[in-house]
């Protein structure tokens, strides 16, 4: 019991120090007045606990436990945690459990506490805490909040002032490379070293150690290959061959681990037949651009891929919150549209990302694909996200017409999807 109390006392002192640090307002609402369990998910170090702490401090008294601590995860009598919390935090009714997925059978524990009247906030760095799993784990209703690294809108709040359009474009150039992980930006740390170390820590601590992977070099090779080929199509067979993994089944399993840890995410090729979707190649993206610059094998930034990855991140965040589904489109002629946004049974929007739209050949290729996809999917809402081109025009390709909106990336990132 004393060891638990000592661990929580140390965490309380760390907590008091953290609450004095600068805080950038995040998008999201915990709805603390509602008597349901609040679950905050997202990548490690994305700011989940900081977000929760600044909500909870408004209530006055709350308890805090971080389960990213082997002393606490080894506990078998969970009542000892509550006894120590009551002693240190004066019988709190609001409690934040950080990195709850590290605690064995956590769902039984939190369900019991909720029945006893505690107002609980949970954070987790593993997508197993997504809504479909939570519906199984938690007997009562729950609120899911997703916290990713800073969006571009949040990134601009670092300066705590209004920006001109010129300043915003300059900020975007840095954001494309730096990414949005909060700590190095707020504390002005060496970003490259921080992000590189974080990437390695997630692979080893959240994946290799947790899943007891016997040959870590295989998942290392896979992660390195994927980060160097962001926005590219893949099949499990091609990944297995290129990364030296022993089987396609193992490759699929490893990629699942990397997605669960919020390093990568994939999108399916659109097809009205689910079977065709599942058997087609997928495209892979990274959850933060900073990882690409820090870990990928690149001589210089690939601005086109960095643009596309940023768009993918924003769309994926909306998908993870069940707002819509995201795909890419490709026909038999290998013409492609980067993103297809599907809401319910209808295609809501087609999105093409093109960093440079100066070459006539590029214009024809991107527009031709949009027009064909628009006709096939019966969607008239088509946009092209560019570096600085902004206009709206009706385009025609062999008799087929579609109205296309051209919009700069910085402006699109600041709009609602």
- Segment 141-166, tens digit of pLDDT: 788 899 999 999 999 999 889 999 99
Residues 28 and 101 both lie in one domain: yes
Mean of pLDDT over the chain: 91
Residues 294 and 320 both lie in one domain: no
pTM listed for this prediction: 0.92
- List the Cα angle 201/256/297 in 5-degree steps: 55
The pLDDT of 261-280, averaged and rounded, is 92
pLDDT for residue 65 is more than 70: yes
| pLDDT recorded at residue 133 | 64
Least confident range from 213-227, 349-363, 400-414: namely 349-363
Per-residue pLDDT of 67-112, as tens digits, reads: 989 889 888 899 999 999 999 999 999 999 998 888 888 889 999 9
Residues 82 and 165 both lie in one domain: no
Residues 241 and 358 both lie in one domain: no
How far apart CA 148 and CA 44 sit, in angstroms, is 9
What's the domain count of the chain? 3
The four Cα atoms 127, 128, 132, 135 give a dihedral, to 10 degrees, of: -120
DSSP 78: T
Residues 286 and 341 both lie in one domain: no
Is residue 244 a contact partner of residue 218, using CB atoms and an 8 Å limit? yes
pLDDT for residue 132 is more than 60: no
Residues 218 and 129 both lie in one domain: no
How far apart CA 174 and CA 303 sit, in angstroms, is 12
Within a domain: 142: yes
| pLDDT recorded at residue 411 | 97
The pLDDT of 332-350, averaged and rounded, is 96
Res. 2 pLDDT band, cuts 50 70 90: confident
User: Which residues have a Cβ under 8 Å from the Cβ of 343 and sit 6 or more positions away?
Assistant: 323, 324, 325
Report long-range pairs for 403-410 (Cβ below 8 Å, ≥24 apart): 404/367, 404/370, 406/357, 407/383, 408/169, 409/172, 409/307, 409/310, 409/311, 409/353, 409/385, 410/152, 410/165, 410/168, 410/169, 410/171, 410/172
DSSP 103: S
Within a domain: 399: yes
Within a domain: 307: no
pLDDT for residue 344 is more than 60: yes
Domain span at residue 219 reads: 152-301
Per-residue pLDDT of 290-332, as tens digits, reads: 999 999 877 678 999 999 999 999 999 999 888 899 999 999 9
Q: Is 117 left (phi over 0), alpha (psi -120 to 50) or beta?
A: left
Within a domain: 321: yes
Residues 415 and 391 both lie in one domain: yes
Residues 321 and 374 both lie in one domain: yes
Is residue 310 a contact partner of residue 327, using CB atoms and an 8 Å limit? no
- Give the domain-ending residue among 106, 131, 147: 147
- Give the domain-ending residue among 147, 163, 179: 147
The pLDDT of 331-343, averaged and rounded, is 96
What is the DSSP pairing of strand 62-66 with strand 382-386? unpaired
b or e along 182-220 (b: 16 or more beta carbons within 10 Å of the residue's beta carbon)? bbbbbeeeebeebbbebbeebbeebbbeeeebeeeebbb
Cα separation values, 206 from 7, 123, 125, 200, 293, Å: 22, 15, 8, 10, 22
How far apart CA 201 and CA 305 sit, in angstroms, is 25
Within a domain: 308: no
Secondary structure of the chain: what % helix, strand, coil (to 5)? 50, 20, 30
Helices (H) and strands (E) in the chain, counts: 18, 14
| pLDDT recorded at residue 376 | 94
Within a domain: 389: yes
| pLDDT recorded at residue 101 | 84
Per-residue pLDDT of 171-221, as tens digits, reads: 999 999 999 999 999 999 999 999 999 999 999 988 998 899 999 999 999
Q: Please state the φ and ψ torsions of residue 207, each to the nearest 5 degrees.
A: -120, -65
- Give the domain-ending residue among 97, 122, 147: 147
pLDDT for residue 250 is more than 80: yes
User: Which residues have a Cβ under 8 Å from the Cβ of 232 and sit 6 or more positions away?
Assistant: 283, 284
What is the DSSP pairing of strand 37-41 with strand 119-124? parallel
Residues 102 and 20 both lie in one domain: yes
pLDDT for residue 283 is more than 60: yes
Q: Tokens for 195, please give them.
A: 């992000």
Q: What is the CATH number of the domain that holds 29?
A: 3.40.50.300
Residues 138 and 179 both lie in one domain: no
Is residue 285 a contact partner of residue 312, using CB atoms and an 8 Å limit? yes
Res. 129 pLDDT band, cuts 50 70 90: low
Res. 131 pLDDT band, cuts 50 70 90: low
Residues 13 and 121 both lie in one domain: yes
The pLDDT of 47-66, averaged and rounded, is 92
Residues 394 and 278 both lie in one domain: no
């Amino acid at each position: 019991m004393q060891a638990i109390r000592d661990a929580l006392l140390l965490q309380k002192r760390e907590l008091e120090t953290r609450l004095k640090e600068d805080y950038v307002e995040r998008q999201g609402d915990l709805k603390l007045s509602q008597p349901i369990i609040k679950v905050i998910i997202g990548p490690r170090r994305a700011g989940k606990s900081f977000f929760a702490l600044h909500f909870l401090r408004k209530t006055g008294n709350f308890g805090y436990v971080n389960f990213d601590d082997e002393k606490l995860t080894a506990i078998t009598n969970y009542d000892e945690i509550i006894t120590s919390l009551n002693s240190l935090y004066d019988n709190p009714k609001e409690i934040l459990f950080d990195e709850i997925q590290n605690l064995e059978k956590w769902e039984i524990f939190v369900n019991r506490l909720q029945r006893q009247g505690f107002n609980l906030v949970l954070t987790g760095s593993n997508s197993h805490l997504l809504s479909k799993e939570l519906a199984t784990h938690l007997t009562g209703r729950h609120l899911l909040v997703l916290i990713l690294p800073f969006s571009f809108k949040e990134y601009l709040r670092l300066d705590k002032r209004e920006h001109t359009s010129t300043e915003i474009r300059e900020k975007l150039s840095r954001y494309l490379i730096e990414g949005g992980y909060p700590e190095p930006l707020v504390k002005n740390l060496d970003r490259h070293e921080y992000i590189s170390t974080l990437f390695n820590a997630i692979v080893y601590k959240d994946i290799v150690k947790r899943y007891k992977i016997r040959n870590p070099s295989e998942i290392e090779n896979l992660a390195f290959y994927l980060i160097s080929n962001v926005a590219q199509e893949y099949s499990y067979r091609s990944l297995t061959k290129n990364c030296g993994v022993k089987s396609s089944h193992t490759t699929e399993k490893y990629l699942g681990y990397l997605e669960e840890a919020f390093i990568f995410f994939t999108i399916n090729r659109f097809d009205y037949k689910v079977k065709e979707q599942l058997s087609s190649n997928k495209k892979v993206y990274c959850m933060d651009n900073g990882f690409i610059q820090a870990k990928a094998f690149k001589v210089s930034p690939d601005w086109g891929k960095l643009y596309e990855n940023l768009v993918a991140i924003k769309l994926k965040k909306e998908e993870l919150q069940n707002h819509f589904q995201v795909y890419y489109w490709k026909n038999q002629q290998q013409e492609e549209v980067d993103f297809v946004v599907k809401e319910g049974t209808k295609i809501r929007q087609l999105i093409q990302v093109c960093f440079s739209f100066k070459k006539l050949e590029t214009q024809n290729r991107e527009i031709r694909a949009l027009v064909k996809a628009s006709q096939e999917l019966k969607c008239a809402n088509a946009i092209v996200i560019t570096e600085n081109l902004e206009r709206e025009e009706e385009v025609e390709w062999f008799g087929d017409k579609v109205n296309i909106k051209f919009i700069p990336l910085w402006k699109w990132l600041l709009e609602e999807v």
